[in-house]
Amino acid sequence: MPTSLLLDFVVFSLFTYILRTYTASLGRARRGGLRYPPGPRGLPFLGNLIDIPQRAPWETYARWGRQYGDVTSISVIGRLLVFVNSARAARDLFEHTGTRYMDRPDIPIIDMMEAHFDLAVTRYGHKWRVERRIIDQNFRPSISVTHRPIQTVKTHAFLRQVLRCPEKTIEYLKHYTSAVVMSLTYGYDVKESGDHYVAIAEELLTLTSESTLSGALLVNDFPALKHLPDWFPGTGFKRRARHGMRLIDEMVNAPFNMVKEDLLKGTSKHSLVHDNLDGCRGNEAETALKNAAASVYGAGVETTISALSSFLLALLLYPDVQTRAQAEIDQVIGRSRLPTFSDRPNLPYVDAICKELLRWRLVLPLGVAHATTEDDVYKGFFIPKGTTVIANTWAILHDAEAYPEPEEFKPERFLTEDGKVRDDPLLVYAFGFGCRACPGRHLVDSMQWIIVVSVLATFNVRKKIDLNGNEIAVEGVYKDARIAQPAPFDYAIIPRHPGAARLVQETQGE
Ligand code: HEM
């Protein structure tokens, strides 16, 4: 029996390969002799599967970009992948071609989990437009301004937590991010530890992120595998998919139903769901709202935590940055009050730190993969409909010509000679491209700024001292993951002066 199933698998895989090769040959007919974008030569059948590195793949793709051209392609088991390695090519493909590059690729494990609630993986079309509109309307700049009071209250709660237990600062940064997002989306106050909704969402995000990493699951390259029975060796991905479905059901429905119940009881607070439920007519509209709300958590929390964790790391590795920012804050605000959003125009160096944080350790070095909705020809190379197109944002924002010494954390690169904040045309690509660009970018802008300025105003972040009185070295290493995450590192964080601790304590009861 297993032998016949193994045979089935081989037949299915060959079928997949032949189908892709056949589709490619149709493509060849359509492309009238044009070649695919250049790239490294692959092996028969596997193509470039073994050329995809597990560590920092964006560096390899950038090298291919220098070797073969800004737009490079490889083939993985008959599937074409295109990498975009320069700002100019990204503009040409993503901004000057309408919606031709605005689809998402199919990912078999995502289909198996039925994770289509998530806007970030939703194919371009009606469902995407409806759910995207809900998020755009609730996070556009004029609405984002109204989110500031919640961000300020949650920031002060974070400062008090750090004062009480500084060694848990990273944990509290995570709490701050989910607290802001859950409050804006569902009007829900996240518990300080062991929160059910946060635990479910975190488990699901880890599961999907591990399952979609390149090479992580064979089923993503051989979709035919999903037809194997559950007991067949190596089909653990099926259990994983079923577990994912259960988590999704809980993550999408539980907080949404909580708001509905609270509305009936008259205890619901203002939030994205609360404010939009009234206008919901019918099941389809309600599902769209439910999906949009869950997408905000799915796309907004891990990404923002990544940027804020890199902030602590940057302060440890670049102590001069901390000193200069604190001097600016002392001069503009003094030491007798906490910063507020109205101080922002007078603190250009703090703004420059926030910009450099988005560039230095990119939250999503390869963005989120796009796909083509129709055939295209770029500079004489053929890119067929359905091709996965990956923007190498890391290569764009680490280009040494645009950003000298790109690996260094240098906020001053975002200042003009007379100390004003410089408008940088490329940084926006940290949030993606065209109509798929991140709808949460205005929220991030204020959520990140208020934490950065408040920490700098009240605490000193220093290297931790070991039992022998020596500083513990900080390597600044990142884990291998789709969303950048610093590997655990040691730090000490102490109030800057006695008055700072008092200011933080005085926020109790807000
Ligand atoms: C530092 C924090 C963040 C970064 C760097 C970031 C970056 C990105 C990027 C690169 C994309 C893909 C864009 C593309 O396909 O070209 C994206 C998509 C998305 N982001 Fe963010 N994001 C952040 C925070 C947030 C927040 C707080 C929200 C909450 C509203 C959010 C909601 C979304 C959604 C819903 C999508 C999917 C958009 C679509 O496919 O149409 N993000 N983000």
Q: What is the pLDDT of residue 115?
A: 83
Give the pLDDT mean for 213-222.
71
Most informative mutation of 100, 290, 431, 485 for ligand 1 (most atoms within 8 A of CB): 431
- Of all protein residues, the one whose alpha carbon is nearest to atom 14 of ligand 1 is 432
Residue 370 CA, closest ligand 1 atom number: 15
Give the pLDDT mean for 349-376.
97
Whether residue 3 has pLDDT greater than 50: no
- Of all protein residues, the one whose alpha carbon is nearest to atom 1 of ligand 1 is 304
In the chain, count H helices and then E strands. 18, 8
pLDDT digits (tens, 9 = 90+) for 293-336: 999 998 999 999 999 999 999 999 999 999 999 999 999 999 99
Answer whether 364 contacts ligand 1 (Cβ < 6 A).
yes
Most informative mutation of 431, 438, 445, 446 for ligand 1 (most atoms within 8 A of CB): 438
Answer whether 496 contacts ligand 1 (Cβ < 6 A).
no
Whether residue 244 has pLDDT greater than 80: yes
Would you give the DSSP letter of residue 390?
E
pLDDT digits (tens, 9 = 90+) for 112-130: 888 888 999 999 999 999 9
Q: What is the pLDDT of residue 2?
A: 45
Q: What is the pLDDT of residue 276?
A: 94
Q: What is the pLDDT of residue 108?
A: 87
Q: Quick check: 5 and 228 in contact, CB under 8 A?
A: yes
Q: Which of 10-24, 160-174, 181-195, 486-500 has the lowest mean pLDDT?
A: 10-24
Helix, strand, or coil (residue 244): helix
Among 117, 141, 140, CA closest to 130: 117
Answer whether 121 contacts ligand 1 (Cβ < 6 A).
no
Residue 248, token pair as written in the block: 């999704």
Whether residue 291 has pLDDT greater than 70: yes
- Of all protein residues, the one whose alpha carbon is nearest to atom 19 of ligand 1 is 438
Helix, strand, or coil (residue 73): strand
Cα separations in angstroms, 402 against 69, 202, 278, 359, 362: 18, 36, 48, 12, 16
Give the pLDDT mean for 370-388.
96
Residue 500, token pair as written in the block: 């700072």
- Of all protein residues, the one whose alpha carbon is nearest to atom 30 of ligand 1 is 440
- CA of 439 from ligand 1 middle (Å) equals 6
- CA of 428 from ligand 1 middle (Å) equals 12
What span, in angstroms and rounded, lies between the C-alpha atoms of 455 and 163?
11
Sheet holding 79-84, edge to edge: 71-76, 79-84, 388-391, 370-371
Between 229 and 373, the higher pLDDT residue: 373
Give the pLDDT mean for 157-185.
96
Cα separations in angstroms, 382 against 32, 149, 297, 374, 379: 9, 50, 37, 11, 9
- Of all protein residues, the one whose alpha carbon is nearest to atom 24 of ligand 1 is 300
Answer whether 299 contacts ligand 1 (Cβ < 6 A).
yes
Whether residue 422 has pLDDT greater than 50: yes
Which residue bears the tokens 């975009």?
Answer: 84
Report residue 251's pLDDT band, with 50, 70 and 90 as the boundaries.
very high
pLDDT digits (tens, 9 = 90+) for 478-495: 987 788 889 999 999 999
- CA of 362 from ligand 1 middle (Å) equals 13
Q: pLDDT over 70 for what percent of the chain? A: 94
Q: What is the pLDDT of residue 206?
A: 86
pLDDT digits (tens, 9 = 90+) for 128-141: 999 999 999 999 99
Q: What is the pLDDT of residue 219?
A: 77
pLDDT digits (tens, 9 = 90+) for 252-265: 999 999 999 999 89
Q: What is the pLDDT of residue 1?
A: 38
Answer whether 224 contacts ligand 1 (Cβ < 6 A).
no
Answer whether 300 contacts ligand 1 (Cβ < 6 A).
yes
Q: What is the pLDDT of residue 152?
A: 98
Q: What is the pLDDT of residue 26?
A: 55
pLDDT digits (tens, 9 = 90+) for 74-109: 998 888 999 999 999 999 999 999 999 999 998 888
Q: Quick check: 296 and 307 in contact, CB under 8 A?
A: no
Between 172 and 108, the higher pLDDT residue: 172
Residue 139 CA, closest ligand 1 atom number: 30
Residue 292 CA, closest ligand 1 atom number: 35
Answer whether 439 contacts ligand 1 (Cβ < 6 A).
yes
435 is in an annotated binding site: no
- Of all protein residues, the one whose alpha carbon is nearest to atom 7 of ligand 1 is 431
- CA of 432 from ligand 1 middle (Å) equals 8
Please state the domain extents for the chain: 2-505
The architecture that CATH gives domain 2-505 is Orthogonal Bundle (1.10)
What span, in angstroms and rounded, lies between the C-alpha atoms of 94 and 205?
27
- CA of 504 from ligand 1 middle (Å) equals 31
Q: How many CB atoms lie within 10 A of CB 106?
A: 14
Answer whether 139 contacts ligand 1 (Cβ < 6 A).
yes
Report residue 351's pLDDT band, with 50, 70 and 90 as the boundaries.
very high
Residue 434 CA, closest ligand 1 atom number: 16
Report residue 8's pLDDT band, with 50, 70 and 90 as the boundaries.
low
Q: What is the dihedral of CA 239, 244, 247, 248, to 10 degrees?
A: -140
- CA of 118 from ligand 1 middle (Å) equals 11
Whether residue 500 has pLDDT greater than 90: yes
- CA of 436 from ligand 1 middle (Å) equals 8
What span, in angstroms and rounded, lies between the C-alpha atoms of 193 and 187?
18
- Average pLDDT along the chain: 91
- CA of 437 from ligand 1 middle (Å) equals 7
